[in-house]
């Protein structure tokens, strides 16, 4: 056998979800693999994204649970939330997960370099004073936060810093209307902060189904979150007791903390991609084909850095498909169709398939079934908050092309229905299914009346 002229068969830049999966699968297929990570193994999701944020979401829900318990016969309590204790517990869990990822890579004989890596050329990677070569290079550096050029923006935080605040702010302003913004608004509101959400458009969660957007915005306002639409921050000034924000309306807003959650962009800056000849699109994302290959034959990219669908499970699928394509000789194209997603807002959202507007644009004629109901738990709790479920059906084929829910357990419910939609679920299939009663999930198999 001819000895390889390279140090590694595969070198992965970035040890997030996509990079770790690709490394592990490639190594299991016999490749000599190394991965470089400049921060911590696990990536945005595990270290400073969906995992710690979900833990914060759990913590924030307890204040309503304590209130609701009284309606079920429990004595009223006066709970006290300890931010410091929670952050310590959250950090310990993230440390544990970071350690597990390292052990998993080590057990698969993947060499880990805890260093920033950049490309010198199409086969050479630099880490400080050290260079190594690789037959194949995978870019899996994920995304990074966007910040505006607003005067005084250095006084603001992003989601990165929100996980490590020394104390819970009494007042916080969050700029943005996407899922990260609304999730953190719910978190800080639930933990006891006074929250103001500022969004420059007319309604939060652009791109989601309109009925969910309307209901979530109202639910958040009912919980005491102040939402200012058609609004932006034009200047930020540090004061003796916090921050003073100048809004585009001319109004001044005082707050303890300002957080920007205005989207993320592919993390490609300073990676040396131009030296290797890798093409980027106008947003700075690595351009790839259906098999995650760039315009440079031996360089691939997966995950948020490609700006396809910026979700952790998608990055994992892309990483796995890449490894099979490159190291097993089995070309696999990751499937980006009908990818389910969730927003862990308060209340949460689960969704899969087309929105109503998308279905109307693409199909022309659709049937819409919906159910607006009060979750059973809320009756004895005395809580007026309602839930909502919606099914969108292609009139011509009877296929379900979209399901959208807002309310308790929506993400858990949608996961199962996502499988059915991938398999060609029809409305007739739902009608034939016996419901689980009493449950919120049964709403999706009991809808019988089309919306006028």
In 3D, which of 10, 11, 17 has the Cα closest to residue 101? 17
Pair type for strands 257-260 and 264-266: unpaired
Dihedral, 263, 267, 269, 271 alpha carbons, nearest 10: 180
- Residues of the binding site for FAD: 54, 304
Q: Are 307 and 8 in contact (CB under 8 A)?
A: no
Taking each helix axis as running N to C, give the angle between helix 312-327 and helix 17-28, from 0 to 180 degrees, rounded to the nearest 10.
Answer: 30
- Going by the annotation, the residues of the binding site are 54, 176-183, 263, 304
Name the β-bridge partners of 404. Answer: 351, 390
Q: Which residues are annotated as a binding site for NAD(+)?
A: 176-183, 263
Counting every residue, how long is the chain?
452
Q: Cα–Cα distance between 377 and 236 in angstroms, integer?
A: 43
Q: Decide if 320 is catalytic.
A: no
Residues 6+ apart with CB under 8 A from 441: 409, 413, 416, 435
Q: Which of 311, 308, 399, 388 is nearest to 354 (CA)?
A: 399
278, 295 Cβ separation under 8 angstroms: yes
Backbone angles phi, psi at 318, to 5 degrees: -65, -40
Label residues 354-378 b or e (16+ Cβ within 10 Å = b): bbbebbeeebeebebbbbeeebeeb
Tell me if 349 sits within 8 A of 186, measured CB to CB. Answer: no
User: Which entry of 123, 320, 404, 437 is annotated as an active-site residue?
Assistant: 437
**Are the CB atoms for 316 and 293 separated by under 8 Å?**
no
**Kindly report the CA angle at 91 between 87 and 97, in degrees rounded to 5?**
150
Going from the C-alpha of 382 to that of each of 70, 377, 438, the distances in angstroms are 9, 9, 18
Query: What is the distance in angstroms between the CA of the first residue and the CA of the last residue of the chain?
Result: 70
Catalytic residues: 437
């Amino acid at each position: 056998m001819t000895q390889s002229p390279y140090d590694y068969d595969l070198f992965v830049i970035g040890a997030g979800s996509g990079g770790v999966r690709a490394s592990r699968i490639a190594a299991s297929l016999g490749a000599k693999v190394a991965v470089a990570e400049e921060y911590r193994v696990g990536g945005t999701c595990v270290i400073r994204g969906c995992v710690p944020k979900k833990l914060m979401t759990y913590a924030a829900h307890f204040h309503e649970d304590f209130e609701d318990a009284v309606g079920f016969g429990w004595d009223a309590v006066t709970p006290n939330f300890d931010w410091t204790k929670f952050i310590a517990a959250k950090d310990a869990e993230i440390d544990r997960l970071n350690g597990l990822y390292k052990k998993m890579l080590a057990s698969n004989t993947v060499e880990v370099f805890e260093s920033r890596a950049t490309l010198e050329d199409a086969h050479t990677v630099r880490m400080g004073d050290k260079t190594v070569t690789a037959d194949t290079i995978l870019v899996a550096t994920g995304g990074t936060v966007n910040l505006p050029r607003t005067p005084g923006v250095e006084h603001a935080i992003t989601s990165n810093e929100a996980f490590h605040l020394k104390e819970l702010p009494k007042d916080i302003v969050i700029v943005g209307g996407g899922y990260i913004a609304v999730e953190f608004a719910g978190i800080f509101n639930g933990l006891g902060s006074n929250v103001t959400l500022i969004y420059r458009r007319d309604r939060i969660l652009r791109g989601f189904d309109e009925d969910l957007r309307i209901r979530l915005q109202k639910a958040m306002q009912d919980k005491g979150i102040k939402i200012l639409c058609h609004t932006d921050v034009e200047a930020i000034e540090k004061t003796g007791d916090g921050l003073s924000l100048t809004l585009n309306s001319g109004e001044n807003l005082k707050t303890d903390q300002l957080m920007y959650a205005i989207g993320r962009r592919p993390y490609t800056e300073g990676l040396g991609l131009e030296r290797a000849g890798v093409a980027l699109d106008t947003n700075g994302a690595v351009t790839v084909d259906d098999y995650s290959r760039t315009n440079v034959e031996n360089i691939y990219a997966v995950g948020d850095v490609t700006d396809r669908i910026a979700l952790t499970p998608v990055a994992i699928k892309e990483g796995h498909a890449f490894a099979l394509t490159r190291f097993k000789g089995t070309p696999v194209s990751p499937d980006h169709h009908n990818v389910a997603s969730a927003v862990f807002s308060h209340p949460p959202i689960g969704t899969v398939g087309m929105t109503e507007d998308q279905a109307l644009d693409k199909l022309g004629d659709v049937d819409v079934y919906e159910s607006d109901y009060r979750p059973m738990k809320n009756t004895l709790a005395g809580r007026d908050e309602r839930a909502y479920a919606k099914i969108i059906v292609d009139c011509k084929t009877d296929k379900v092309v979209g399901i959208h829910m807002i309310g308790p357990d929506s993400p858990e419910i949608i996961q199962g229905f996502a499988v059915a939609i991938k398999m060609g679920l029809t409305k007739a299939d739902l009608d034939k299914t016996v419901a689980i009663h009493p449950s919120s999930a049964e709403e999706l198999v009991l809808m019988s009346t089309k919306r006028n």
